[in-house]
Structure 1
Amino acid sequence: MDKNTLKTVIADNKIEVPKYKVIPRDFIFEEFGNYVFVGIRRAGKSFLLYQRMQQLLAQGVQWDEMLYVNFEDERLVGMSLEDLNLLLEVHLEMYGKKPMLFLDEIQNIAGWEKFARRMADTKHRVYITGSNAKMLSQDIQSILGGRYIPVDVYPYNFKEFLTANDIVFSEESLHSTTGKAEVLRKFNDYLYYGGFPESAEFTAKRDYLTSVYQKIYLGDIAIRHSVDNTYAMRIMFRKLAESIKQPVSFSRVTNIVSSAGAKVGKTTIINYMDYAKDAWLISLVQNIAGKLVDKETNPKYYFTDNGILNLFLLDGNTSLLENLVAINLLRKYGRHDAVFFYNKGVEVDFYIPDEAIAIQVCYDIDTANGTFDREVDALLKLRNVLECKKLMIITRDTERTVEMNNAIIEVIPVWKWLLRF
């Protein structure tokens, strides 16, 4: 790697980064923490770095004490692990100071974790982002040796989405007709088009979301993993989107994809699922009542952003509602062994064991087909097998409190739950 190229990249970033308009995310940086931010592409990981750099600049830290590099910069194509130390040499030549490191999309550099470990050992302050969940695998965590704080980054939560859209809200404003209407209008956008930070800037939101999906599908999955049968993988994603709310087995997906004319084996489907999880396109939720094999092979799958899910759906209100609740639960409690569903004689959409919360998601509980009784009955029966400190039904618009069989069930509109969550 040519040193002059690195000097140009560093100098250009010094000019550009302070110009970015940053909507502060709901995240507090520890003063002496090293971080690895991981999440779906375009979730706002880079802007967390910009947020931190702008905070430090405002506190009096000088730019020559910081080094920012985005490894997706085309000028850095071909950069290797051996070249990473050149960044320090070049920065020292330019400014003569030991820098804080801001390393964006570093998963493109094979072996990056060894460099990151050495930087932490030499007391550099380091902030890293990446778009692949394997960055937080046990092998890499072992190499990093507990020197970094891992952080999952999702697209905007609803409160951040309102702030990004210049909607000021408070408990008082939500009681006013105008204030509530404004929040509900923006919630419709959030439900159907998701929370990718940049999507707020686009009128043609569907076109933007399609481009993000194509980048994830092609760049982060197909090209990275040398997938030949991209048609089969597209059919698989469509089937997963249509199956939100339902457990899906590998065998079932294999049969459906094969029947669509894309012959694949179950092992291939399992690999495709793993690739999609690594790229943060999907996350799974397991059946807490299932045996080990059932948990691993028959989970529910959810898309990390409603906007991408909605690309696959025609009339998807109920699926979008449940997906939105799932992703916000995963955002708060974590992707691994924290959020479950229950399915053994009775079906409950979500159960959070750490807080003993049981949640049903229902678009409209007041339909005439017995929906209300079915949802309430499932929650009441769950108390017989699992501890339930809190019972909830999250709806599109309905709000009430149900008292039955010595239990209190809170029925709450999803937008209000998101603002309180």
Structure 2
Amino acid sequence: MELKEIETVLLEQKEEFSSKLAESYCTRPEEELVDLNSKLAQVIIGMRRSGKSTLCFNVIKKSGLNFAYVNFDDERFSKIKSDDLNKILECLYKIYGDFNHFFMDEIQNIDEWFLFVNRLLRNGMHVLITGSNAKLLSGELATHLTGRHMKVELYPFSFKEYCEYLGKSTAHGTTKEKGLLRAVFDDYLHDGGFPELLTEKRKQTYINTLVGSVLKKDIEKRYKVKYKAAFEQIANHLMNNAPAKINYSDLQTLFGLSSDHTAENYVSYLKNAYLICGLHKYSQKSKIRIRDEKAYTVDVALMNNRENAMAGENLGWRLETIVYIELLRRYKPEECDVYYYDETAGEADFIVCKGNSVKQIIQVSYDISNPKTMKREINGLLLASAKTNCNNLLLITDHDEQTLIYDGKQIDVVTAYSWLVDR
């Protein structure tokens, strides 16, 4: 691109940037993880439309620092090459004056962008980056910046953020407050937390467009996927059946792929783009942990708001998905790992670990009114407790609250809506 063309685009983007900084935004916990004065590149990654740019606008607005801004997800920059990045930098100095804080939105659209970022970091620039592809960002940054980056993962709205965005109270002390909050949670359980989806009437159209963009633009184009139809069928199959164990041999056979290795690659692309999140089996043995992985969607909206999804209510699966993504929000920044426990005698949905120490065991069941269901859930907690020597046991359900004692161990039964807002 010519210098004048670049300057015109950047001037228009500056107007947009100024208007964004003038708006009010929902505060998100991940903002506290962003250090604008760090010598490390601050990298905000996550699925498309989960609010990455908005989080950055809010962080910048609160900081009061002088930031230069470029949005590379602009069709006018679609043909920008790495050689043009220096032209962009020159124009930015002309437009913003002297600056040492730089916000680059969706930078991974440019080939060899990491070399440009590396040069900026060496020259003392404080860099804030967003992107929608985990492999490109974390993989290439780790390779080319040798650890000079800090990754912050962002997911769609949590239930607490959902309430804040809609102006709903999260109080649940009185009977009235509990009833009102449960009603809001029922909506969240069905619609999920993509910020823009909250005000969209045509939810299926929105999700179809979003998923299609991720599959075709973020994955097929970048990874040069050969069997596009089979890849898209695998993606929809996993989202339709989540949460479920991933069997690569079955996927190979079901979708006519040349090898289970191809199926494994396709699933890894979906995880890298944050369409699905994997969960490994708990074990002290590494070879066991890498097998029998489960797949969850990054948001419950992906489970049914798609054409031909044919998904039923599946309230139990939806609640389990919401709890898992919330565990990732809470514990990954604390450098904890989350697993599931599964043995012949019983299973537990989630085990939270710090290193080799188990911190909590969590069971999720939408309805425990059936004695058989209750017995199964309690049995899974007790088995996992005996295996891990962890006595911090939690059962998350739809509307029951009580404290139980089994085999001398205390089990706290809490409602999902209260657990989600009492962070």
TM-score clears 0.5:
yes
Match of 1:265 in 2: 259
What CA distance in whole angstroms lies between the structure 1 residues aligned with 2:137 and 2:389?
A: 32
Q: Name the count of aligned residue pairs.
A: 407
What CA distance in whole angstroms lies between the structure 2 residues aligned with 1:158 and 1:321?
A: 11
1:194–1:306 contact (8 Å) kept in structure 2:
yes
Query: For structure 1, which segment, 193-202 or 308-317, has the greater mean C-alpha deviation from structure 2 after superposition?
Result: 308-317
Q: What is the Cα deviation at residue 254 of structure 1? A: 2.2
What CA distance in whole angstroms lies between the structure 2 residues aligned with 1:120 and 1:352?
A: 35
1:287–1:295 contact (8 Å) kept in structure 2:
yes
Q: What is the Cα deviation at residue 43 of structure 1? A: 0.8
1:310–1:316 contact (8 Å) kept in structure 2:
no
Q: What is the Cα deviation at residue 136 of structure 1? A: 4.3
Q: What is the Cα deviation at residue 247 of structure 1? A: 2.2
What CA distance in whole angstroms lies between the structure 2 residues aligned with 1:406 and 1:224?
A: 55
Pick closer, same or farther for the CA change 1:240–1:341 going to 2, 3 Å: same
Pick closer, same or farther for the CA change 1:139–1:100 going to 2, 3 Å: closer
Match of 1:46 in 2: 53
Match of 1:147 in 2: 148
Pick closer, same or farther for the CA change 1:95–1:288 going to 2, 3 Å: closer
Match of 1:356 in 2: 359
What CA distance in whole angstroms lies between the structure 2 residues aligned with 1:9 and 1:53?
A: 21
Pick closer, same or farther for the CA change 1:242–1:207 going to 2, 3 Å: closer
Q: What is the Cα deviation at residue 204 of structure 1? A: 2.2
1:250–1:270 contact (8 Å) kept in structure 2:
yes
Cα shift readout 1:257-288 (whole Å, capped 9, x = no counterpart): 34xxxx55312211110111111111111111
Q: What is the Cα deviation at residue 408 of structure 1? A: 0.5
Q: How do 1:342-353 residues align onto structure 2 when only pairs under 5 Å count?
A: 342-345=341-344, 346-353=346-353
Match of 1:131 in 2: 132
Q: What is the Cα deviation at residue 139 of structure 1? A: 4.8
What CA distance in whole angstroms lies between the structure 1 residues aligned with 2:26 and 2:138?
A: 30
Cα shift readout 1:150-207 (whole Å, capped 9, x = no counterpart): 111111111111111111334xxx2244433332222122211211111122122232
2:138–2:151 contact (8 Å) kept in structure 1:
no
Match of 2:19 in 1: 19
1:32 maps onto 2:33 in alignment? no
Q: Say which of 317, 321, 324 aligns to 2:322.
A: 324
What CA distance in whole angstroms lies between the structure 1 residues aligned with 2:186 and 2:116?
A: 44
Q: Say which of 217, 226, 229 aligns to 2:227.
A: 229
Match of 1:288 in 2: 282
What CA distance in whole angstroms lies between the structure 2 residues aligned with 1:389 and 1:5?
A: 63
Pick closer, same or farther for the CA change 1:371–1:85 going to 2, 3 Å: same
Pick closer, same or farther for the CA change 1:308–1:243 going to 2, 3 Å: closer
Identity %: 30
1:5–1:75 contact (8 Å) kept in structure 2:
no
4+ long deviations beyond 6 Å: none
Match of 2:340 in 1: 341
What CA distance in whole angstroms lies between the structure 2 residues aligned with 1:272 and 1:112?
A: 25
2:46–2:131 contact (8 Å) kept in structure 1:
yes
1:379 maps onto 2:359 in alignment? no
Match of 2:406 in 1: 404
What CA distance in whole angstroms lies between the structure 2 residues aligned with 1:48 and 1:30?
A: 13
Q: What is the Cα deviation at residue 123 of structure 1? A: 1.4
What CA distance in whole angstroms lies between the structure 2 residues aligned with 1:356 and 1:23?
A: 30
1:240 maps onto 2:245 in alignment? no
- Aligned with 1:385: secondary structure? helix
1:289–1:344 contact (8 Å) kept in structure 2:
no
For residue 366 of structure 2, what is the amino acid of its counterpart? Y
The TM-score normalised by the length of structure 2 is 0.90
2:44–2:154 contact (8 Å) kept in structure 1:
yes
The CA RMSD over aligned residues, in Å, is 2.2
Q: What is the Cα deviation at residue 320 of structure 1? A: 0.8
What CA distance in whole angstroms lies between the structure 1 residues aligned with 2:174 and 2:84?
A: 58
Q: How do 1:119-268 residues align onto structure 2 when only pairs under 5 Å count?
A: 119-170=120-171, 174-258=172-256, 263-268=257-262
1:282–1:302 contact (8 Å) kept in structure 2:
yes
| 5+ residue gaps, structure 2 | none
The TM-score normalised by the length of structure 1 is 0.90
Pick closer, same or farther for the CA change 1:97–1:273 going to 2, 3 Å: same
What CA distance in whole angstroms lies between the structure 1 residues aligned with 2:161 and 2:413?
A: 24
Q: What is the Cα deviation at residue 292 of structure 1? A: 4.1
